Amino acid sequence: MSIGGIGGGNFNPADLTKFDPPKQSTFSKFSSILGGAASAIPGVGPALGAIGAVTGGAGGGASTSFNRQYELLQLQNQIQQEAQTINMISNINKAKHEASMAAIRNVK
Amino acid sequence: MANVELAVKPSREEKRFLMEAALLMRDANRLDEAKTMFEGIIPLVEDKHLPIIGIGTIHFAKGEFDDAVEQFEKATEIDPTCAIAYAHLGEALAFSKHLDEAELALQKATELDPAGDNGGEMARTIQKFLAYGLL
Buried b (16+ CB within 10 A) or exposed e, B38-48: beebbebbebb
Residues of B in contact with A95 (CB under 8 A): 121-122, 124-125
CA B24 remoteness from chain centre? 14
**CA-based end-to-end distance of chain B:** 34
CA A71 to chain B, closest CA, distance in angstroms equals 25
Residues of A in contact with B121 (CB under 8 A): 95, 98-99
B4 — pLDDT class (breaks 50, 70, 90): low
The pLDDT value recorded for residue A5 is 38
**What one-letter code names the amino acid at B61?**
A
Residues of B in contact with A108 (CB under 8 A): 12, 15, 45-47
CA distances from A72 to A14, A17, A51, B26 (A): 10, 7, 7, 43
Higher pLDDT: B101 or A37? It is: B101
Q: Where are the domains of chain A?
A: 16-106
- With CB atoms and an 8 Å threshold, state whether B15 touches A102: no
The pLDDT value recorded for residue A44 is 52
For residue range A59-86, what is the model confidence (pLDDT) as tens digits? 557 888 889 999 999 999 999 999 988 8
The mean pLDDT value of chain B amounts to 91
Listed residue (B76, B38, B128, B23) closest to A99, CA to CA: B23
Interchain contact A95–B (C-beta under 8 A): yes
Q: List the domains of chain B with CATH numbers.
A: 12-131 (1.25.40.10)
CA B128 to chain A, closest CA, distance in angstroms equals 9
The pLDDT value recorded for residue B38 is 95
The pLDDT value recorded for residue A106 is 83
Residues of A in contact with B90 (CB under 8 A): none
- Residue range B71-78: average pLDDT? 96
Is it the case that residue B30 has pLDDT exceeding 80? yes
Cα distance between residue B56 and residue A50, in whole Å: 42
ipTM value, please give it: 0.77
- Residue range B57-79: average pLDDT? 95
Read off the pTM.
Answer: 0.67
CB atoms within 10 A of CB B131: 10
For residue range B99-113, what is the model confidence (pLDDT) as tens digits? 999 999 999 999 999
- Local structure of A1: helix, strand or coil: coil
CB A57 within 8 A of CB A27: no
